[in-house]
Structure 1
Amino acid sequence: MYKIYDELGKKVRMRRKEKNYTTAELAERLGISAGLVNNIENAKYDVFRLELLLQITNELNVSLGELLQLNTLDVRNIEFNENFLPSIETQGEDTQEDIQFCNHQLNLVIRSFLTTISEYGITRENIETISNHILHEFDTLVKLHRLNTKIPS
């Protein structure tokens, strides 16, 4: 099982205990079985409906971004259109440190995205709107950078 499910389960258990809910009480509030709550907390359940995750976040009063805290993303495991990793690896001695920094920043962006969609409501329309806005901002940054590198100082 992936590390993300283990982290998710630990956080669900921690937040459940903070609210002084038993497994059965949380299950009843979510409309699922106590066994399923137990499986989630012990990382034995890897299929989540977005609605169930939203119910968990609402019931435990935690944002989706905080609940997931995706510290498991690593740029070395992401498929890129360009030669991103070779460009980092050829820039010097601090390659590992640069990759760790990049991973940290990537995780901050993902957490912010998850927190935002959690606030707006996890619907396809909201996710698409927020995603398109973020992609537009990134595209604008790239265009500005390309424009600035073409203009002599």
Structure 2
Amino acid sequence: MTGPTAPSRYDFEYPDEAGLPGGKSTLSQDQTVLIDELLDNPHACASDVEFVNEQKAGIYEATVGYREIASLSYNVADDGRLVLLAISVFPEFRKRGIATELIRHVLDDVRAQGKTVTIMCPIVRTFIENNPEYAVLLDSKHPGVTKAPRRP
């Protein structure tokens, strides 16, 4: 008999309203790459990156010049909180801290607006777990995805 296994950095559980069978989902290879970047390579972001909130589209974008290099999509819930859905970074811009800085920018913007967030993106969840000063932004009634508990 073996004891409980430690949860991996890729084990997440989703709330019932996410509509996933059993509340679980398999992360894509792109998602695992971004989680690895957040945990293993928290480099400073290039200074020529700009961050823009495209409110009509529900997307925060990271751009260099006029080129979008990363984005974090969101919805606005009826109560005004932001539901952070998914982050993506073009492969050629990974491992440069772009995801980290985009998430930081979004959460700082949410804080400045006095709003809270529900997190459906495991990459954003990983960021908050490693930057606990942002945990106060989690909506207490609808926190979103969480790390999975240890499995027997």
Pairwise TM-score range, normalised by the shorter structure: under 0.3
TM-score, normalised with respect to structure 1: 0.21
What TM-score results when the alignment is normalised by the length of structure 2?
Answer: 0.21
Task: Name the structure where strand makes up a greater proportion of residues.
Answer: 2
Between structure 1 and structure 2, the one with the greater Rg is: 1
Q: Which has the higher contact order (CA 8 A, sep 6+)?
A: 2
Which structure dedicates a bigger proportion of its chain to helix? 1
